[in-house]
């Protein structure tokens, strides 16, 4: 892969970037920070376009909505917020019972599932900006989420190593499984809904059947926490990032590590930029890095 750091903050003590989403047109990226800010930058040259302030603690999740005119965010201040991209103006705020740990938006940008520190999961509607359903999915903190491309099914993972499959519309449970003794840190669902990829605290990468949640494979992907997973749009490539300061590019059919690259610090999040045809990662040094597959 070709690597290009497209954004890096100035200063001696940069604030970590914690999450990332790419605009549908691929021309800009939105990142959350450990101090609660939201930063919108050019995906081409990393030039900052806007900084949005509002969250009072770490921004754990961000996502462009619909055509990209709005951004939804969740944070450890127990709030969900909706923002206008062009002005940075807040469009709505919802308060949760505990810190927001994960957020997964459907492909149409009309709804999302939200996971919180108290183990609850909620169904968020973007317009109007409301939380319709909240269920207790786990007894420990939610740590990762994934949603099928159609938005019909969702997957919620926890510190305890459990995964719950839900029917998104009413968050009705379909299956529950204890997939690992290690904490789950990241998840990604194949676009064909045929494989669920699970990243663990101990660095392992698991594959599981999305229907039964039965574990079908295991690879030691990283030497420590596997913190980020992202799939290419066709599902043929998978990028994993870890706190061991490495990223790994995988082929998914079959699962095989193709390349491994070193970084100066640990990876915090990853996503696929469809229009660009590349992966983006964020890290503890506050950098946004583009990875272009060969």
With 0-12 / 13-18 / 19 or more C-beta atoms within 10 angstroms meaning exposed / middle / buried, residue 256 is: exposed
pLDDT, residue 233, reads 94
143's enclosing H/E stretch is strand 142-147
Among 79, 114, 118, which residue's Cα sits nearest to residue 96?
A: 79
User: What is the structure's pLDDT at 108?
Assistant: 85
pLDDT given for residue 10 in this prediction: 80
- Which has the closest alpha carbon to 157: 148, 168, 166? 166
Q: What is the CATH number of the domain that holds 30?
A: 2.130.10.10
Q: What are phi and psi of 235, to 5 degrees?
A: 75, 5
Alpha-carbon distance of 277 to 212, in angstroms, equals: 32
What are the CA-CA distances from residue 5 to residues 32, 69, 110, 279, 281 (Å)?
17, 25, 32, 12, 9
Query: What are the tokens at 236?
Result: 């043929």
Tokens 């596997």 map to which residue? 226
- Residues with Cβ within 8 Å of 16's Cβ and at least 6 positions away in sequence, in order, are 33, 34, 268, 282, 283, 284, 285, 286
Look at residue 12 and tell me whether its pLDDT is greater than 90: no
Distance from C-alpha of 124 to C-alpha of 81, rounded to nearest angstrom: 11
Output the pLDDT for position 132: 83
Q: How far apart, in whole angstroms, are the C-alpha atoms of residue 248 and residue 242?
A: 9
Residue 207 has what pLDDT? 98
Residue 46: the pLDDT is 86
* pLDDT tens sequence across 56-86: 999 999 999 988 999 999 999 999 999 999 9
Residue whose C-alpha is closest to residue 98's, from 72, 78, 73: 78
Helices of type H across the chain: none
**Nearest CA-CA partner of 156 in 203, 235, 194, 101:** 101
- Bridge partners (DSSP) of residue 272 are 279
Residue 203 — left, alpha, or beta (φ > 0 → left; ψ -120 to 50 → alpha)?
left
| pLDDT tier for residue 224 given thresholds of 50, 70 and 90 | very high
Average pLDDT over residues 266-273: 97
Please give the pLDDT value at position 43.
87
Boundaries of domain holding 50? 2-292
**How many domains does the chain fold into?**
1
What contacts 254, CB < 8 A, 6 or more positions away? Answer: none
Q: What is the mean pLDDT of the chain?
A: 95
Contact present, 277 and 292 (Cβ < 8 Å): yes
Q: Cα separation of 210 and 286, whole Å? A: 34
Distance, in Å, from the CA atom of 191 to the CA atom of 264, rounded to the nearest integer, reads: 31
Average pLDDT over residues 242-258: 97
d(CA 6, CA 27): 12
**Quick one: pLDDT band at residue 114, thresholds 50, 70, 90?**
very high
Query: Taking phi first (over 0 means left), then psi (-120 to 50 degrees means alpha), and beta for anything else, what does residue 193 get?
Result: left
Predicted local distance difference test score (pLDDT) of residue 33? 98
pLDDT tens digit string along 138-184?
Answer: 889 999 999 998 899 999 999 999 999 999 988 899 999 999 999 99
């Amino acid at each position: 892969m070709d690597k290009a750091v497209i954004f890096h903050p100035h200063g001696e003590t940069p604030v970590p970037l914690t999450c990332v989403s790419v605009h549908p047109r691929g021309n800009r990226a939105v990142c959350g920070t450990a101090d609660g800010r939201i930063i919108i930058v050019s995906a081409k040259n990393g030039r900052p376009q806007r900084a949005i302030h509002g969250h009072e603690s770490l921004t754990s999740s961000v996502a462009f909505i619909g055509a990209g005119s709005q951004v939804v965010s969740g944070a450890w201040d127990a709030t969900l917020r909706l923002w206008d991209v062009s002005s940075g103006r807040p469009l709505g705020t919802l308060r949760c019972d505990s810190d927001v740990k994960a957020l997964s938006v459907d492909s149409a940008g009309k709804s999302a599932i939200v996971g919180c520190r108290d183990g609850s999961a909620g169904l968020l509607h973007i317009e109007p900006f409301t939380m319709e359903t909240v269920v207790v999915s786990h007894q420990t903190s939610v740590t990762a989420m994934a949603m099928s491309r159609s938005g019909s099914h969702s997957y919620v993972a926890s510190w305890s190593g459990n995964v719950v499959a839900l029917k998104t519309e009413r968050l009705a449970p379909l299956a529950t499984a204890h997939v690992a003794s290690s904490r789950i840190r990241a998840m990604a669902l194949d676009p064909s809904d045929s494989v669920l990829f699970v990243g663990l605290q101990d660095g392992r990468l698991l594959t599981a059947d999305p229907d039964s949640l039965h574990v079908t494979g295991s690879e030691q992907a990283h030497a420590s926490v596997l913190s980020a997973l992202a799939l290419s749009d066709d599902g043929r490539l998978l990028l994993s990032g870890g706190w061991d300061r490495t990223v790994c590019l995988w082929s998914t059919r079959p699962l095989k590590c193709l390349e491994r690259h070193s970084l100066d610090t640990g990876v915090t999040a990853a996503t696929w930029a469809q229009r660009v045809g590349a992966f983006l990662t964020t890290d503890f040094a506050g950098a946004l890095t583009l990875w272009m597959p060969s």
